[in-house]
């Protein structure tokens, strides 16, 4: 019989995988022209969201204690600044490759975690704070990132339907 930790972990992984597949499929369906067009006038472009998601997923590695980042060079254009604030951006093809690499890397590393390891603290919380707030664990990071994917997927759906 499955224990509660394994059940919660499976539920969170399923949400992550489902949302990520939908986002992957949506990005894959967008033409380069659609990738460059504002989703809503004056707001993010799918290109920006692609770079943003690559950078966020790359940041998950050290946050979960699963390895070092490989894409810090994306932070300025896709995490620190809003869309269009940085003029020189990687090409759409480069961003697609970064996004695929970040997802492959985080998924591979997360697959190595045992059920109980998901309930350990993540790296941005101190031992003292974790003792007071044990919900600040690796599983909470996975849940929040699955919701983050879902949020931006909603934006992408608007671009796809233009």
Residue 122 has what pLDDT? 98
The answer as to whether 119 is a domain residue is: yes
Does 6 have pLDDT greater than 80? yes
The answer as to whether 89 is a domain residue is: yes
Residue 9 has what pLDDT? 94
The answer as to whether 100 is a domain residue is: yes
The answer as to whether 34 is a domain residue is: yes
Does 71 have pLDDT greater than 80? yes
Residue 55's domain comprises 30-160
Does 45 have pLDDT greater than 90? yes
The set of residues, in sequence order, having a beta carbon less than 8 Å from that of 61 and lying 6+ positions away, is: 67, 68, 69, 105, 106, 109
Residue 155 CB burial class (10 angstroms; 0-12, 13-18, ≥19) = middle
The answer as to whether 17 is a domain residue is: no
How many domains does the chain divide into?
Answer: 1
The confidence band for 79, taking pLDDT boundaries of 50, 70 and 90, is very high
Residue 43 has what pLDDT? 85
The answer as to whether 8 is a domain residue is: no
CATH classification at residue 39: 1.20.120.450
Residue 59 has what pLDDT? 98
Q: Which of 160, 58, 56, 47 is nearest to 94 (CA)?
A: 47
Write the pLDDT tens digit of every residue in 80-98. 999 999 999 999 999 999 9
**Average pLDDT value for residue range 122-143:** 97
Model pTM score: 0.95
The answer as to whether 2 is a domain residue is: no
**Average pLDDT value for residue range 134-148:** 97
The confidence band for 41, taking pLDDT boundaries of 50, 70 and 90, is confident
The answer as to whether 18 is a domain residue is: no
Q: Measured between alpha carbons, how far is 152 from 22 in angstroms, rounded to an integer?
A: 11
């Amino acid at each position: 019989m499955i224990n509660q930790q394994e059940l919660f972990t499976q539920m969170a992984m399923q949400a992550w995988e489902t949302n990520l597949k939908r986002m992957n499929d949506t990005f894959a369906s967008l033409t380069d022209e659609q990738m460059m067009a504002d989703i809503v006038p004056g707001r993010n472009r799918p290109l920006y969201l692609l770079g943003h998601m690559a950078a966020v997923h790359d940041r998950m590695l050290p946050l979960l204690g699963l390895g070092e980042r490989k894409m810090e060079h994306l932070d300025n254009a896709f995490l620190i600044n809003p869309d269009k604030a940085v003029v020189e951006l990687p090409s759409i093809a480069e961003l697609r490759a970064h996004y695929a690499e970040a997802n492959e890397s985080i998924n591979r590393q997360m697959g190595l975690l045992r059920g109980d390891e998901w309930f350990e603290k993540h790296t941005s919380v101190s031992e003292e704070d974790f003792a007071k707030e044990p919900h600040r664990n690796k599983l909470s990071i996975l849940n929040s990132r699955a919701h983050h994917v879902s949020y931006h997927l909603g934006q992408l759906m608007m671009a796809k339907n233009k």
